[in-house]
Amino acid sequence: MPMNTTWTAQEPGSDPVLALPFVREFLRLCDDGFRMRFHERNGGNLSYWLRQEEIRMLPEKEPKGSWIPMEAAVPALGGEYFLITASGSCFRNISYAPAENTCIIRLNDGGSSWQLVWGLRNGGRPTSELESHLQNFAIRAQQPERESRVMYHAHPASVITLSNLLPQDSKTVTRALWSSMIECAFIFPYGVGVVPCMIPGGAKISGQTAEQMQTHDAVLWAHHGLFCAGKDFDSAFGLMETIDKAAEIYLKFLASGQKRRYTIPDAIFEEIAQALGGKMNMAYVHGGGDDPADE
Ligand code: 2HA
Ligand code: ZN
């Protein structure tokens, strides 16, 4: 998708869609992610799954244009509406010119194609990672307490650095992050899944990501970035921030050139699991991963 070179600021009052609370929160997250340096150029993408009452708030609910087929169908999401960043959109432009850089789409009943409801004013299509966003929503909706409304993909530098250092294995990566600061085990008790380095976009990476999302809170794409799921914008953004910060702490410790001298004992993770009523990835509670810092 060629990138636009000029943008016209879109005033919030110019379009009723921009006044909707979920749209405002979506745009605020884009600005915050850009300020956090999670998004170089057109890196990253964001999606929001609309609730029924939010669909009713849309001034125009009927899709326009043709049905565009997707590589992989998501039958569980047939007929659902999503607000999503446009392919090629740079996060620094999204809240400045939202109608060009985002869109609301509706899926057909079989969840195999999408149609435009709002946005993409200069043409284009939703993010190249559309399939990953949708499959992640579908897989998490199978577990009611883990259902997500926000899917957030970004390129935080510290997190990407981990895939240059650590074995690309979910337990090792999760333990390295949990061991960096104690809040991590509370904030992502199911840990971080890892998908090995592969070409972004399309069915292969989205299938493997959804598989990891079934049992983890976030998924690291090796040498690429991170996918975070959340029940709302604060949860998804907070997860991205927390994992980024834990990765930064881990890297600072490694940069000190010292071996790990003090660690969070497994007994503490057991206590956290108890405090969370067992809603934690128990396979990661006891060490034995392959962390080079422990060698
Ligand atoms: O949208 O981040 O993974 C650009 C990307 C692709
Ligand atoms: Zn990416």
DSSP secondary structure string for all residues of 197-249: S--SSSHHHHHHHHHHHTT-SEEEETTTEEEEEESSHHHHHHHHHHHHHHHHH
Residue whose tokens read 């530098």: 157
107 backbone dihedrals φ, ψ, rounded to 5°: -90, 155
Counting atoms of ligand 1 from 1, which one is nearest the CA of 88?
A: 1
Average pLDDT over residues 65-84: 96
CA of 267 to the centre of ligand 1 (A): 39
Which residues, chain by chain, have CB under 5 Å from ion ligand 2? 225
Render pLDDT for 164-193 as a digit per residue (tens, 0 to 9).
999 999 999 999 999 999 999 999 999 999
Q: At residue 215, does pLDDT exceed 60? A: yes
What is the best residue among 45, 87, 208 to mutate for testing ligand 1's pocket, by most ligand atoms within 8 Å of CB? 45
Average pLDDT over residues 262-279: 95
| 131 pLDDT tier (thresholds 50, 70, 90) | very high
The set of protein residues with a Cβ atom below 6 angstroms from ligand 1 is: 42-45, 127-129, 153, 200
The residue whose C-alpha atom lies closest to atom 3 belonging to ligand 1 is 200
Residue whose tokens read 């600072």: 252
CA of 225 to the centre of ligand 2 (A): 6
Q: Which ligand is nearest to the CA of 42?
A: 1
Strand order in the sheet with 113-119: 64-69, 113-119, 102-107, 81-85, 45-49, 150-154, 225-230, 218-221, 192-195
Q: At residue 160, does pLDDT exceed 60? A: yes
H helices, E strands: number in the chain: 11, 9
Render pLDDT for 194-205 as a digit per residue (tens, 0 to 9).
999 999 998 899
Render pLDDT for 273-293 as a digit per residue (tens, 0 to 9).
999 999 999 999 998 767 777
What pLDDT sits at residue 258?
Answer: 84
Tell me the C-alpha distance between 285 and 265, whole Å.
Answer: 10
Q: What is the pTM of this model?
A: 0.96
Query: What number of other Cβ atoms are within 10 A of residue 11's Cβ?
Result: 8
What pLDDT sits at residue 260?
Answer: 79
Counting atoms of ligand 1 from 1, which one is nearest the CA of 155?
A: 2
What pLDDT sits at residue 13?
Answer: 86
Domains of the chain from N-terminus onward = 8-128 (3.40.225.10), 151-290 (3.40.225.10)
Question: By the 8 A CB rule, do 176 and 292 touch?
Answer: no
Per the rule left: phi > 0, alpha: psi between -120 and 50, beta: everything else, 61 is alpha
CA of 155 to the centre of ligand 2 (A): 6
Q: Which residues are catalytic?
A: 129
What pLDDT sits at residue 211?
Answer: 98
